Amino acid sequence: MDVENRNGFQVGRADTSDWTALTKIDPVAAAGDNARRDSIRRWCEHGVVLMAQGASGPLGYSVLEYNFFEQGFVTMLVVAPGARRRGVGANLLTAIEAACTTAKLFTSTNVSNHPMQHLLQRVGWRPVGLLHGLDEGDPELFYLCPSTRLRDAAGTGG
């Protein structure tokens, strides 16, 4: 599934062995959050991570799971601080859309996460809900991918 784009990086499924490199580009894991490190390792072991990689190594990663009402859900999308504003996030979302096996694909982000909101809106995802109570004082915004961009758009599965 490796796809190289015009920006000179590839997006493909991460291997189990990639988890340590991903912890170095994830600001939360790199700051010493062991729970995030454990999650990255588990996600890689379960084969649910798509990774953007350039000549210098990983540039970002995204996690696609199906535990949100049995629909696709982008659990995590991280772009290395030095690789931002280069199309990494948009390309990861495109790869997730292509990999999704359900009729619907969701994600969420905190109200305070303006860069993620701008990315989602720029690539055409639409806001579909707001949830209070997960992070005190910072509600969670939910987004839905346009169904026409999913391979299951015809409703053949999920």
Task: State residue 6's pLDDT score.
Answer: 58
Separation of alpha carbons 44 and 89, rounded Å: 18
pLDDT of residue 108: 98
Buried b (16+ CB within 10 A) or exposed e, 136-152: eeebbbbbbbeeebbeb
**Domain spans in the chain, listed from the N-terminal domain onward:** 3-149
Global pTM reads 0.89
Q: What is the DSSP letter of 149?
A: G
**Within the chain, which residues score under 70 in pLDDT?**
1-7, 152-158
Q: What pLDDT shows up at residue 1?
A: 47
Q: DSSP assignment, residue 81?
A: G
pLDDT of 5 reads: 57
The DSSP annotation for 85-146 comes to TSSHHHHHHHHHHHH--SS-EEEEEETT-HHHHHHHHHTT-EEEEEE-SSSTTSPEEEEE--
Which CATH class for the 3-149 domain? alpha beta
